[in-house]
Amino acid sequence: MTHSLHREGPLDLLNREYVLFVYPARGFNYDGSGPKAKRLVEMLFQQGPANLLVTTLRRNMYSGISQEEILNSIKDGAKIFCVLEDREKIKDTLVKIKEMDEGISIVISGVIDRVREVSAELGLNPHTVNLSLGIHGRTDRLPPADLRQFTTMCGHGMVSPWLIRDVIRRVKTGKLDLREASLIAAAPCTCGIFNPCRSVEMLKDLVPLYTVNRL
């Protein structure tokens, strides 16, 4: 999941997006981590995540499954991937995680300056940072940046640039609204960190710029 590092998009939207991972460590706190993960997921559902997935089910919130199915799938070793849309939400979530004190590694992927501020406000001492040094090689072969801001929300690359073009076309032709289009785009993401709320904002800006063939 190193991929959450490479999320692209407008800085003002990245500034208010926090990806949260709960990650048990193999051989260290893996055994017995299931009930802890379950308690954390129950708490995260109360926070109103923009998206969430547990790795024991590998289906995100928008793939037609219920919260119960997600909770029931959790067992030892389950990792939780989640997106929270707002600074106060991440702060409140971290306060709760600190109180729950489950002892499982918590990782926040976000704009480093914002995470620094939140950590300072909560008296947390982050341990390790993973920095992205960008894309290298034949960058001319990449999909255009306006589509990458959607496709890189799924770091495994499961959200196709053609799907983004397709939902733009369907929005422009009145077949979908922005939210519906964003949920369709979010569905293939198997890491559960495609943020449909950010997608709505970005589509709002992008849709007028595209032309479509109605034939």
Partner 1 sequence: MLIRKDLCVGCGRCQPYCPVGAIHFEELKSIVDQEVCYECGTCLRSEICPVEAIEESPYVYEYPRALRKFFSDPNATHALTGIAGRGTEESKTNDVINRVVPGEVGVAIEFGRPTLGMDLTNIQKVTRAMAKAGITEIEPENPFNDVIQNHTTGDLKPELMGEKVLSAIMEFKVKRDQLGHVLRTIKQAAREVDSVFVVDVYTRLEPGLTVPKEVIEVIEAEGYTRRPNAKINMGLGRANKRKDA
Residues 17-56 that bind partner 1 (CB under 8 A): 21, 23-26, 28-29, 32, 55
CB of 46 to partner 1, least distance (A): 19
Q: Per CB under 8 A, which region of 44-52, 142-150, 171-179, 198-206 contacts partner 1? A: 142-150
Phi, psi of 201, rounded to the nearest 5 degrees: -60, -40
Residue of the chain from 88, 123, 127, 211 that contacts partner 1 (CB under 8 A): 127
Residue of the chain from 156, 175, 179, 204 that contacts partner 1 (CB under 8 A): 156
Q: 23-53: buried (b, 16+ CB within 10 Å) or exposed (e) per residue?
A: bbeeeebeeebbebbbebbebbeebebbbbb
CB of 156 to partner 1, least distance (A): 4
Q: Which is nearer to partner 1, 21 or 49 (CB)?
A: 21
Per CB under 8 A, 95 contacts partner 1: no
Contacts with partner 1, 55-84, as mask; x by CB under 8 A: x--x--------------------------
Return the number of other C-beta atoms located less than 10 Å from residue 117's C-beta: 13
Instruction: Tell which residue, 209, 213, 182, 173, has the closest CA to residue 83.
Output: 182
CA–CA distance, 34 with 172 (Å, rounded to integer): 45
Residue of the chain from 51, 151, 195, 199 that contacts partner 1 (CB under 8 A): 151
Distance (Å) of CA 82 to CA 183, 193, 194: 15, 6, 9
Per CB under 8 A, 163 contacts partner 1: yes
Map residue 64 onto helix, strand or coil: coil
Residue of the chain from 133, 174, 211, 213 that contacts partner 1 (CB under 8 A): 133
